[in-house]
Amino acid sequence: MKVLIIRTDRLGDTILASPAWQALKEELPEAQVTLLTRRPYLLLFESDPLLSAVLAFPEGDRQESDELARQLSALRFDAVLALHVDRAAARLIRKIRAPVKIGPLSNIWTWFLFNRPVRQRRSPSLLHEADYSGLLLHKLDIRYRPHRPRVHLPAHSAEGEPALMERLLADRAGDPFMVVHPGMGGSALNWPAKRYAGLVQMILSEAKETVLVTGTEADLPYLGSLLSQNNPRLISAVGKLGLVELALVLRRASVFVGPSTGPMHLATALDTPVVTLFSPVGVQRARRWGPYHARGTVLTPPVDCREKYRCRLRRCRHYDCMDLISVGEVLEAVKEWRRIAVSP
């Protein structure tokens, strides 16, 4: 059987798709599975031995999308499995010729895409996103069994790891370090920047471990005064890492601290413990987006949030509820995972 799996949205979403193809290959070891994802993520999956090929989804180019549809049709897949569908992906799926097309009925226009559709309302967040995707396998008569998300770094990437660590950490390259990643794409509520700064200050005062701050230039609003602290054990890698380099750093870290974001899922796929902060809003909850079958602690504000889709901000009597997560409880979770990491 030849199966095309399509997941073309964010980094964390794509990482959470990996349990689906693990379950598929577990049931059908001889199946040839191809993944279609966004170009920036190719290096995280091209070396996965469970995947026969990994292809890049065309970004906004209709002519390129039409050409890709012709190429995919020529490959004669037995089934197309769309784990998530936006309009760009829908246009491609509609043009691919395949006897079986499986996907969630999430919008009106998805009714015209699939001949084996699955009714799924993911917005109530009753299941984890990985489970919603995995349960689509039932349309192929494949039993879904949960697996921890996975990525496979290019074999040659390990060769550059020592030089990367020396570039980032200098004379501390051989010492233990933890990663604090305050930024996110804005799809959920985040812990206030002042809290991240307070956490780092307490970590530096109570531990001897180096704190490496990661992120991109777009994350600067979440950093606040964090990087203004004058301490040789506080090192910024903001804007300095490619995706594979970030993965190499996360693989070496003792603990990852951050919000609901792609790097958090990347850390879990690399089996790094995570301490992560989640919104209580319905579609943003950890029940759907938290670390999946991984080592970690999830912290959520102690409020009874009734909002399903988005925060009402200052109109809500709990605002800013994320500020109710104390620096102390995050620090205790970090210290606990740190103890586990160093225990024999």
The domain that contains 331 carries what CATH number? 3.40.50.2000
Give residue 298's pLDDT: 98
Give residue 342's pLDDT: 66
Whether 136 and 161 map to the same domain: the answer is no
Whether 66 and 192 map to the same domain: the answer is no
Q: Given 93, 114, 140, which residue is the final one in a domain? A: 140
Two structure tokens written together for 341: 């990491």
Whether 159 and 133 map to the same domain: the answer is no
Two structure tokens written together for 342: 């160093």
Identify each DSSP E strand in the chain by its residue range. Answer: 2-6, 32-38, 53-57, 79-82, 100-105, 116-119, 177-180, 210-213, 234-236, 256-259, 274-277, 296-299
Evaluate whether residue 148 is within a structural domain.
no
Whether 97 and 222 map to the same domain: the answer is no
Give residue 344's pLDDT: 54
**pTM to 2 decimals?**
0.96
The answer to whether residues 164 and 245 touch, using CB atoms and an 8 Å cutoff, is: yes
Tell me what the pLDDT averaged over the chain comes to: 94
- Please tell me the number of Cα atoms within 13 Å of 322 on its side-chain side: 23
Residue 297 to residues 256, 275, 330, 336, Cα–Cα distance (Å): 10, 5, 9, 10
Q: Which domain holds residue 50?
A: 2-140
Evaluate whether residue 146 is within a structural domain.
no
- Measured at the CA of 133, the angle between CA 218 and CA 296, to 5 degrees, comes to 60
Length of the chain equals 344
Evaluate whether residue 74 is within a structural domain.
yes
Whether 308 and 171 map to the same domain: the answer is yes
Is pLDDT of 279 > 90? yes
Evaluate whether residue 147 is within a structural domain.
no
Q: Given 91, 114, 140, which residue is the final one in a domain? A: 140
Whether 35 and 124 map to the same domain: the answer is yes
Residue 344 to residues 100, 179, 197, 220, 339, Cα–Cα distance (Å): 50, 22, 31, 38, 10
Two structure tokens written together for 30: 């001889």
Whether 126 and 170 map to the same domain: the answer is no
Angle in degrees, 0-180, between the axes of helices 87-95 and 62-74, rounded to the nearest 10: 40
Whether 207 and 255 map to the same domain: the answer is yes
Whether 17 and 134 map to the same domain: the answer is yes
Number of domains in the chain: 2
Pick from 109-113, 162-166, 273-277, 297-301: least confident: 109-113
pLDDT in tens, 111-130: 899 999 999 989 889 999 99
Evaluate whether residue 33 is within a structural domain.
yes
Whether 14 and 77 map to the same domain: the answer is yes
Evaluate whether residue 149 is within a structural domain.
no
Whether 214 and 110 map to the same domain: the answer is no
Two structure tokens written together for 102: 């499986």
Give residue 62's pLDDT: 87
What's the CA gap between 276 and 264, in Å, rounded?
8
Which of 321, 326, 332, 320 lies closest to 196, judged by CA?
A: 326
Mean of pLDDT values over 318-334: 96
% of the chain residues with pLDDT over 90: 84
Give residue 111's pLDDT: 85
Evaluate whether residue 263 is within a structural domain.
yes
Evaluate whether residue 183 is within a structural domain.
yes
Residues contacting residue 296 through CB under 8 Å, at least 6 positions apart: 268, 273, 274, 275, 276, 290, 337
Whether 31 and 113 map to the same domain: the answer is yes
Which of 44, 40, 39, 43 lies closest to 16, judged by CA?
A: 44
Mean of pLDDT values over 137-164: 95
Q: Given 108, 140, 172, which residue is the final one in a domain? A: 140
